[in-house]
Structure 1
Amino acid sequence: MSNTVWKQRSLNWFSVVGQIEAWSFLILLGIAMPLKYGMDVPEAVTIVGIAHGFFFALYLSTVVLATIVHRWSVLRMLAAFVASLLPFGPFVMDRRIRKAMLAEGGNAASR
Structure 2
Amino acid sequence: MPRTYAGWFRLVAIAEAFSWVGLLVAMAFKYGLDMPLGVTVMGWIHGAIFTAYVVVCLVVFSPLRWRFGVLVLALVASVPPLATVWFERWANRRGLLTESDSDEPTFWGRIREIN
TM-score, normalising length from structure 1?
Answer: 0.81
Q: Aligned residue for 1:42?
A: 36
Question: Structure 1: 5+ residue runs without aligned partners?
Answer: 1-7
- Aligned counterpart in structure 2 of residue 93 of structure 1, from 64, 87, 92: 87
Matches within 5 A, 1:69-80: 69-80=63-74
Q: Aligned residue for 1:24?
A: 19
1:13 is the counterpart of 2:8: yes
**Cα shift at 1:71:** 2.2
Aligned length: 98
1:51 and 1:23 mapped to 2: Cα distance? 10
2:47 counterpart letter in structure 1:
G
Q: Aligned residue for 1:4?
A: none
Q: Aligned residue for 1:58?
A: 52
Q: Deviations over 1:15-57 (max 9, x none)?
A: 011000111011111x100111111111100000000000001
- Aligned counterpart in structure 2 of residue 33 of structure 1, from 27, 31, 45: 27
TM-score, normalising length from structure 2?
Answer: 0.78
Give aligned-pair identity as a percent: 32
Over alpha carbons, which structure has the higher Rg? Answer: 2
Provide the aligned C-alpha RMSD in A. Answer: 2.0
**Cα shift at 1:72:** 1.1
- Aligned counterpart in structure 2 of residue 83 of structure 1, from 77, 82, 88: 77
Question: Structure 2: 5+ residue runs without aligned partners?
Answer: 100-115
- 1 or 2, which has the higher helix percentage? 1
Q: Deviations over 1:60-94 (max 9, x none)?
A: 11101111212211110111111111122011100
